[in-house]
Structure 1
Amino acid sequence: KLFLFLSQTECLKNQQNNNKPHIPPDAGGEGGLTDTQREVLERCLHALRNAKNDSQTLAALLLITRLCPASQLDKPTLRRIFEAVGLNLPARLLVTAVRGNENSGLPPHELLSLGTALLAALSTDPDMASHPQLLTTIPLLLGILANGPVSNQQKQAAQEQTQAGEMDQSPDSKVKSAESSSPESNPANVAKSAEKSKTSKQKGDDGSTSNGISPSKETSPSDSLDEAMAADCYQVLTAVCALPRGPDQLLSRGAVPALCQAVEQNQTCSHEKGLALLGCLLSGKTKDKVWSKHPAELLTLLVRLSKDFCLSKDQARLDMCSQLVQFLPPIGVAVESEELKGAVSRVWGVLRPMMQAKLTPKQIGTILVLSACLLDLYGWEMVGPPKFCCLMVNRACVEVRMGLEEPPGNELSPELQHTLTGCYRIMEAAIEQACSPGLSQTAAPSHSSISSLSLQQSRQVLGVLEEAFSAVVYHLQQVDQSRYGDPFIFATFRSLCSWLAEETSCLKEEVTGLLPFLIGYSRSHLQGESSEQGLSDWMAEISVSEERKAWTGKEPLRYLLPALCHLSAEEGPRKVLLTLDTPALLVNFLSQSWISLKGKSGVVSARDPSMETACSALLNFTVTEPERVRKDQCFRTLEALLSEALPVLVHKPRLLVLAANYCTLGLMIGRLKSTPSGPYQGYGNWRFFSSALRFLRSALDSGSSPGLVTVSISWEESWDDVAELWRLGLQALGGSVRAQPWITTLVREEGWLKHTLTMLDQCSALPDQHTQEALEEALCAIAEQCPACKQEIGDMMMRNDKGALSCMRNLKKSVRVK
């Protein structure tokens, strides 16, 4: 049996290592087999399918591997062999070894070696790798990697199960029972096992430390993990991980804590294969899930890797840059952890001299990507002195220029695209910090902040950023619609938008010339005309990202909106935007966003700044292009949207800023319409203006103190954001009343006029002069268009000549009160 076991293990490893066989061109039939070999193979397959015991199965396998080398077998033939062997035998071997059955005839270590070798060979077939019976062996394989071939916990579990009389179960149920009883089947148990292993490390007389084994005892074969067995275990786990649902299968069976323990215990192959497998589990859509479930284990692992990084030398350290990126937590996870902060600080300390050294493009690329990820975690707080901040931004900008200023038609390699994406994040972070000097003042002053740059250093940073974004503009000018679904184009587009949000005076002609692409790109994605799958995958997998959300198609326009808000206020760019039908694009965006917002009924609605910014851009068009507003059908669509939305928004305090934008935008459009005097013009108009009057009225409160008007409690928190909109809304109300006199009926019916006059009569002063002027303008327009309102205002002014109402000189003239 021992000879059979050793021979079979060796042959199976041959088969596994040659899972992509070389088949001679003239071979026919079963791969490259001769007629005699094919006849023997068929007999062996028959013997495998009809074997009455394990010895017959192993004998047939041995004969196959001796007479039919794996190099001569094609994939269909290998599959026939795999199906004939099945998963029952290797699974039973593992369970027998774990339970320590003395009647097996082989030591547990040898049973495990044979079982893992068989599983490794079978797992090369995807169908076998996804088989439920193979999946049930995963906790056992993880236990082998974390604790050694036959751990004490497994022996104890086996003894308990033996006493319970469970040894008579069927092979399949034995596997399931072993899975449930094994400590490795539960992530919490693996973590406890790792803790026990750490606390059980004992020091010998020479001061050496062993992983849970006393140096005074000899290590038995069953307590050591040989490289072949470890490689077989990792082969199975890696094959499972490659399946569509593979990562979830591994996570649900405790893979992360077990692999972390294997690395912590420095088990065989753990650094080579274990870290690679963990890296796969920590990439893409599963990263957030894994970190939320196992933060302690992953943080301990990251701290260890950061220490290894700091202690490594030259090329090894450069190679570890990419590895560290995989193990950094998602943004917002464990940010307050002092242990994590310490690890990040140490890594920055090592990166500084590396950044200053003479490096190849590939070497500097890995350093810049790691730097970008560290910036995502803690910003500029730990980066270093201002001089180093300048150096890092400069090196990122140089890489962008070198990468993007290639002649048209040159394709960028995936490695270069990954590097440039990291460089973009560094550039974006530099812009954010440079334009938000107040952010660093909220915390303790830090000499390491980039906000501590001298005037000369600031000019240098702005200069290199302008040169880099010139290269970005140049690259985007060459992009045609067939590449709109390319994730790298989106990353480049997003980076440019972050700069345009703060800086539109530089490169004005180049940016204006690029507007057809910027608008076309945003419209294509908003309308779903481009392939979105690649972008969806990229959004989930990108390591340099401030958020991991599903792709909706609105993302490009969201990033472009701040720039549109600036550009629509300038005549030259605005004319180009109008030729590109940009107002219709903005209305479409607001419509889609409103539908999405309505769909969240019952959920506390969060503020959406992008909708507010879209309103600001449309407001610019409304103020500067009245004729376009009167004629363009998209503004009729916008009016209908505002009439539907404002009555809902006035009852949502968290969306007060959006309500102020909708109210003001609708009133500004209303002042451009011309309707005869008489009843209201349609239910939609009546509904909007009725809601607008109630909304405007709710801003000020005369309060309990006589003579003092204050901002109402519901508006107080957002007053800095909405004060100007409220005043502009009052002015627009006056213009709307002049254009549509029927509104004066609503002014009286809704109680706006009575409320306002009472408040002004009772108070001695308003919060500020601008507020008084806005109210006065609205009241003057109402007095001019409505005799009854004029009479009511005049009567109130005659009764009291000391309140805030008496200070409105223009209003006195309108109602002819001295």
Structure 2
Amino acid sequence: MADLAEVTPVMGSQPPGGEEGGGGLTAAQTEVLERCLHALKHAKNDSHTLAALLLITRLCPASQLDKPTLRRIFEAVGLNFPARLLVTAVRGSRSSALPPDELLSLGTALLAALSTDPDMASHPQLLTTIPLLLGILANGPVLNQQNRARQSPDRKVQAEDVSDPECDSVRETSEQSGDEADRASPEGSSRLDEAMAADCYQVLTAVCALPRGPDQLLSRAAVPALCQAVEQNQTLSRQRGLALLGCLLSGKTKARAWSRHAAELLPLLVQLSKDFCQSTDQPRFTMCSQLVQFLPPAGVAANSEELKGAVSRVWGALRPMMQAKLTPKQIAPILVLSACLLDLYGWELVGPPKFCCLLVNRACVEVRMGLEEPPGNDLSPELQQTLTGCYRIMEAAIEQACSQPSAAPQSSVPGLSLQQSRQVLGVLEEAFSALMYHLQQVDPSRYGDPFVFATFRSLCSWLAEETSCLKEEVTKLLPFLVSYSRNHLQDGSSEQNLPEWMNTMSVSEERDGWTGSEALRYLLPALCHLSAEEGPRKVLLTLDTPALLVDFLSRCWTSMKGKSGATMIRDPSMETACSALLNFTVTEPERVRKDSCFRSLEALLSEALPVLVNKPRLLVLAANYCTLGLMIGRLKSAPSGSVEAGQRRFFSAALRFLCGALDSGSGSGPVKVSPSWEESWDEAAELWRLSLQALGGCARAQPSVCSLVRQEGWLRHTLGMLHQCSVLPDRHTEEVLEEALCAVAEQCPVCRQEIRDMMARSDEGALSRMRNLKKSAGVK
């Protein structure tokens, strides 16, 4: 760079004290600016460019320049020039008479000014300077870019982010300049000038505010660089660096940041937790919100003793705060932080039972106060955030209650006395009553509101376990719950606010983003309970709930079959939907016969079951499909001709599936559960037995099914097993097998003769003890 020894830069983003302050340019300034812009446009070398820029920064501070003017400067200079200033400073080039710090100061000030325009902040040339700026903040004004690049490949500027060929030379120069910079100056960790640090943070903050800004910073290793700046207590790192890190750790980049940089983030979190515990009461309230940002997602680093110790210390500091007399503004950040800590380790580290009880009580009181407002009152964003935190505390109490094996009333948190348990369950019931009151007021126009979803989700967590309390209120709310779920299932795939909320609240449920089915998934356990009760079931039928469940299963199956066998994973929600449909099938036979949605369900089952039979990992879902299809089949009247193709395909798959459950082996000992079923037997056994009962019903309703029973080998397999084995796994299994065989014997003469022949061979084995079957088969 040319010798500019006679030019002294005057930097700073604040106005120098002119008459106009920060509100525009005087006529004299405008005249000078136009001359400088002309000089910039016609500059023959870097010296001329630099001289014009120095005049602009001296007479027309950035805060007084509007966006059109900044754009004219950008068009005249380009972003490559300030980038070259930074590289020249890093290299310590002797071709420039200006000291490196002054070059850095000018370069960062130019970038800061230009970055105030979002279009310029997103420009590829500006993005190439991010590693340089991060290096300045982390290490001081003189950097060793090459060593930094070797330490972390992520810190290199990605080629796809650079569209201007000139940027390649800047990047290459910056990567080659580190060793020279170290040799030129031993002050590689010198203290940053505050104005330069502010300019660097201005650029990074402007980039972070862009739609893809957090991704851009994360891909350029902003997290480890900012952690290093904070660790070394560099200039403004505590004020601006922590705030920028908080932004990167609060949105959709949180999980990726922790997965890539847990080694840097964990020590920072430990230090912040120590600062929190050592601070006085008033700063602690402010620091609660900061700690929330820096906590890892649930499950990340859960085995870390450092993290566990930090969480334990924070709980220790929160206990006296929670027990004090607090204003609503003071208790809000405490409750939100408590909710996030519960996400990490549950109730394990919270403290004594009395404090756990207090925490749940405080959360429930806040919910009642916040939601029991007159209809039409809008809740502020701050209150919504507080209530969402309270919901998570309430959900944690419910989860703990459900995990307790002791007799009811179950303890919401470890160690609670019976009286304390009753008190906690009582306040939870009152709080969930407030949730139902609030949801009753929700208009369909607000279905996309994330807070409505948070309220809905929390209520569903309670309804999944408790539908006997407040039964009238729950039944009255069913039209909203079903309508809300249907709306999101059918129209919610384009919703933008809710996916963002799901990421923020860490409720991704291990699925690939927002699909629109999430609301119904949360409601399904409650629907399973409510469809078994006559009053709520009648309401659910008027709301066409079976059709909603069939639609859900159809969408899920379409998504599942589009994946390869290796990526087909179990989806418990599909099994729960089958259970609810099974309740309708058992209790409402006329509805099943008339409702067209059950015809659609039969078509789905006939397509899916033949595939599921060959997927051991999806055995429980196959058992649900098999049972549901056979239970529907027993309600159908006998066809005039042969079994239709779809139904035949289903029955063939169902019979093959049922054959695989028990294994008699080669000896005459007891029958055992087959290896492929053994792992899932606890969940699938009752469905298998119910399927056998339904098979008998199908044989009676549709005698033509009996021919399939023979053709598919189920009759031969079952008779051979019963003839050979000495005993079945339990009496119930023996009873359902006998019942199915009796139905087949009564409806099919050929089957009856086959059964008679097998029973006549020997008077040993389980088959010989089946008296009802002997009677049905005509065996004396």
Pick the aligned partner of 1:427 from 394, 398, 410: 394
CA distance in 2 between counterparts of 1:457 and 1:417 reads 28
Evaluate the alpha carbon distance shift between residue 131 and residue 515 of structure 1 in structure 2; reply closer, same or farther with a 3 A threshold.
same
Evaluate the alpha carbon distance shift between residue 483 and residue 182 of structure 1 in structure 2; reply closer, same or farther with a 3 A threshold.
farther
* 1:385 and 2:352 correspond: yes
Amino acid at match of 1:686: R
Pick the aligned partner of 1:176 from 168, 171, 176: 171
The residue number in structure 2 matching 1:706 is: 668
Moved more, 374-383 or 731-740: 374-383
Pick the aligned partner of 1:697 from 641, 659, 662: 659
**How much does 1:171 deviate?**
7.6
The residue number in structure 2 matching 1:355 is: 322
* 1:795 and 2:761 correspond: no
Amino acid at match of 1:297: E
Is the partner of 1:5 in helix, strand or coil?
Answer: coil
* 1:492 and 2:455 correspond: yes
Contact 2:15/2:60 (<8 A) preserved: no
Amino acid at match of 2:247: C
The residue number in structure 2 matching 1:753 is: 715
Contact 1:149/1:223 (<8 A) preserved: yes
* 1:334 and 2:334 correspond: no
Moved more, 148-157 or 275-284: 148-157
The residue number in structure 2 matching 1:94 is: 86
Contact 2:412/2:421 (<8 A) preserved: no
CA distance in 2 between counterparts of 1:635 and 1:17 reads 79
The residue number in structure 1 matching 2:244 is: 277
Evaluate the alpha carbon distance shift between residue 150 and residue 250 of structure 1 in structure 2; reply closer, same or farther with a 3 A threshold.
same
Contact 2:230/2:242 (<8 A) preserved: yes
Evaluate the alpha carbon distance shift between residue 799 and residue 530 of structure 1 in structure 2; reply closer, same or farther with a 3 A threshold.
closer
Is the partner of 2:403 in helix, strand or coil?
Answer: coil
Pick the aligned partner of 1:605 from 568, 586, 605: 568
CA distance in 2 between counterparts of 1:385 and 1:343 reads 18
**Structure 2 matches for 1:200-349, cutoff 5 A?**
223-349=190-316
CA distance in 1 between counterparts of 2:648 and 2:146 reads 76
Evaluate the alpha carbon distance shift between residue 62 and residue 676 of structure 1 in structure 2; reply closer, same or farther with a 3 A threshold.
closer
The residue number in structure 1 matching 2:648 is: 686
**How much does 1:357 deviate?**
1.3
Amino acid at match of 2:618: L
Contact 1:678/1:741 (<8 A) preserved: no
CA distance in 1 between counterparts of 2:683 and 2:166 reads 69
**Structure 2 matches for 1:563-602, cutoff 5 A?**
563-602=526-565
**Structure 2 matches for 1:361-440, cutoff 5 A?**
361-438=328-405
Contact 2:128/2:167 (<8 A) preserved: no
Is the partner of 1:359 in helix, strand or coil?
Answer: coil
**How much does 1:68 deviate?**
5.1
Pick the aligned partner of 1:466 from 404, 419, 429: 429
Evaluate the alpha carbon distance shift between residue 71 and residue 692 of structure 1 in structure 2; reply closer, same or farther with a 3 A threshold.
closer
* 1:727 and 2:719 correspond: no
**How much does 1:155 deviate?**
11
The residue number in structure 2 matching 1:526 is: 489
Pick the aligned partner of 2:97 from 84, 92, 105: 105
CA distance in 2 between counterparts of 1:132 and 1:604 reads 37
The residue number in structure 1 matching 2:727 is: 765
Amino acid at match of 1:399: E
The residue number in structure 1 matching 2:152 is: none
Evaluate the alpha carbon distance shift between residue 44 and residue 151 of structure 1 in structure 2; reply closer, same or farther with a 3 A threshold.
closer
The residue number in structure 2 matching 1:557 is: 520
* 1:130 and 2:125 correspond: no
**What is the aligned length?**
754
Contact 1:92/1:171 (<8 A) preserved: no
* 1:82 and 2:74 correspond: yes
CA distance in 2 between counterparts of 1:120 and 1:181 reads 25
Amino acid at match of 2:213: G
Evaluate the alpha carbon distance shift between residue 354 and residue 68 of structure 1 in structure 2; reply closer, same or farther with a 3 A threshold.
closer
Contact 2:745/2:776 (<8 A) preserved: yes
**How much does 1:455 deviate?**
1.0
* 1:478 and 2:441 correspond: yes
Instruction: Give identity over the alignment, percent.
Output: 78
Evaluate the alpha carbon distance shift between residue 222 and residue 731 of structure 1 in structure 2; reply closer, same or farther with a 3 A threshold.
closer
Contact 2:493/2:514 (<8 A) preserved: no
**How much does 1:624 deviate?**
0.4
**How much does 1:289 deviate?**
1.3
Contact 2:145/2:174 (<8 A) preserved: no
Evaluate the alpha carbon distance shift between residue 296 and residue 449 of structure 1 in structure 2; reply closer, same or farther with a 3 A threshold.
farther
**How much does 1:286 deviate?**
1.2
Evaluate the alpha carbon distance shift between residue 2 and residue 154 of structure 1 in structure 2; reply closer, same or farther with a 3 A threshold.
farther
Structure 1 stretches of 5 or more lacking a match? 24-31, 158-169, 185-192, 194-217, 440-447
Contact 2:670/2:728 (<8 A) preserved: yes
Evaluate the alpha carbon distance shift between residue 514 and residue 85 of structure 1 in structure 2; reply closer, same or farther with a 3 A threshold.
same
CA distance in 2 between counterparts of 1:130 and 1:19 reads 30
Contact 2:70/2:114 (<8 A) preserved: no
**How much does 1:62 deviate?**
4.5
CA distance in 2 between counterparts of 1:114 and 1:301 reads 32
CA distance in 1 between counterparts of 2:678 and 2:177 reads 59
User: 1:150-207 CA deviation, whole Å, 9 max, x = no partner?
Assistant: 14677999xxxxxxxxxxxx985552124324679xxxxxxxx9xxxxxxxxxxxxxx
CA distance in 1 between counterparts of 2:492 and 2:145 reads 57
The residue number in structure 1 matching 2:133 is: 141
RMSD of aligned alpha carbons? 2.7
Evaluate the alpha carbon distance shift between residue 546 and residue 415 of structure 1 in structure 2; reply closer, same or farther with a 3 A threshold.
farther
Evaluate the alpha carbon distance shift between residue 221 and residue 636 of structure 1 in structure 2; reply closer, same or farther with a 3 A threshold.
closer
**Structure 2 matches for 1:607-622, cutoff 5 A?**
607-622=570-585
**Structure 2 matches for 1:628-639, cutoff 5 A?**
628-639=591-602
CA distance in 2 between counterparts of 1:752 and 1:388 reads 60
**How much does 1:608 deviate?**
0.8
Is the partner of 2:253 in helix, strand or coil?
Answer: helix
CA distance in 2 between counterparts of 1:529 and 1:171 reads 45
**How much does 1:58 deviate?**
3.9
Pick the aligned partner of 2:474 from 507, 511, 514: 511
Evaluate the alpha carbon distance shift between residue 226 and residue 152 of structure 1 in structure 2; reply closer, same or farther with a 3 A threshold.
same
Moved more, 273-282 or 52-61: 52-61
Is the partner of 2:299 in helix, strand or coil?
Answer: coil
CA distance in 1 between counterparts of 2:17 and 2:49 reads 18
**How much does 1:59 deviate?**
3.7
Contact 1:373/1:543 (<8 A) preserved: no
CA distance in 2 between counterparts of 1:316 and 1:68 reads 39
Moved more, 323-332 or 639-648: 323-332
The residue number in structure 2 matching 1:210 is: none
CA distance in 1 between counterparts of 2:396 and 2:18 reads 47
Q: Given the two structures, how large is their TM-score scaled by the length of structure 1?
A: 0.88
Amino acid at match of 1:323: Q
User: 1:27-78 CA deviation, whole Å, 9 max, x = no partner?
Assistant: xxxxx654x6544433221111112344433443344456556666433123
CA distance in 2 between counterparts of 1:528 and 1:111 reads 55
Is the partner of 1:658 in helix, strand or coil?
Answer: helix
Amino acid at match of 1:77: T
Amino acid at match of 2:750: A
Contact 1:630/1:672 (<8 A) preserved: yes
